[in-house]
Amino acid sequence: MIELEKLEKIKRRFEEVESLMADPEVATDPTQMQELGQEHSRLEEVVAAIDRYEGMLDERDDLRDMVREENGEMEALAKEELESLEKRLPAVEEDLRKKLVPKDPEDEKNAIVEIRAGAGGDEAALFAGDLFELYTKFAKQHGWSYELMDVSAGTQGGFREVIFAVKGEDVFGTFKYEAGVHRVQRVPETESSGRIHTSAATVAVLPEAEEVDIDIRESDLKVETFKATGPGGQSVNTTDSAVRIKHIPSGVEVSCQDEKSQHKNRAKAMRVLRSRVYEKKRKEQREEREEARRSMVGSGDRSAKIRTYNFPQDRVTDHRLEGGQKNHSLQTIMGGDLDSIIDALKAEEHAEKLANL
Q: What is the DSSP string of 185-201?
A: EE--TT-TT---EEEEE
Pairing of strands 305-310, 180-186: parallel
Other Cβ atoms less than 10 A from the Cβ of 347: the count is 12
Q: Which residues contact 174 (CB under 8 A, 6 or more apart)?
A: 142, 342
Per-residue pLDDT 10s for the chain (357 aa) are 778 888 999 999 999 999 999 999 888 988 889 889 988 988 999 999 999 999 999 999 999 999 999 889 999 999 999 999 999 999 999 889 888 887 787 888 999 999 999 988 899 999 999 999 999 999 999 999 999 988 999 998 999 999 999 999 999 999 999 999 999 999 987 677 778 989 999 999 998 887 667 778 888 999 998 887 765 444 455 677 889 999 999 899 999 988 888 889 999 999 899 899 988 888 887 676 455 333 433 333 334 689 999 999 999 999 999 888 899 999 999 999 999 999 999 988 887 877 766
Cα torsion 122, 128, 129, 135 to 10°: value is 170
Compute φ and ψ for 156, nearest 5 degrees: -115, 15
Find residue 45's DSSP bridge partners.
none
Measured at the CA of 86, the angle between CA 84 and CA 89, to 5 degrees, comes to 110
| Sheet strand arrangement including 159-167 | 145-153, 159-167, 111-117, 197-207, 180-186, 305-310, 315-318, 327-329
Domains in the chain, ordered, with CATH?
4-100 (1.20.58), 108-210+299-355 (3.30.70.1660), 218-289 (3.30.160.20)
What integer pLDDT is reported at residue 215 of this predicted model? 79
* Residue 253 half-sphere exposure toward CB, CA atoms < 13 A: 7
The per-residue pLDDT for 211 is 67
pLDDT at 337: 94
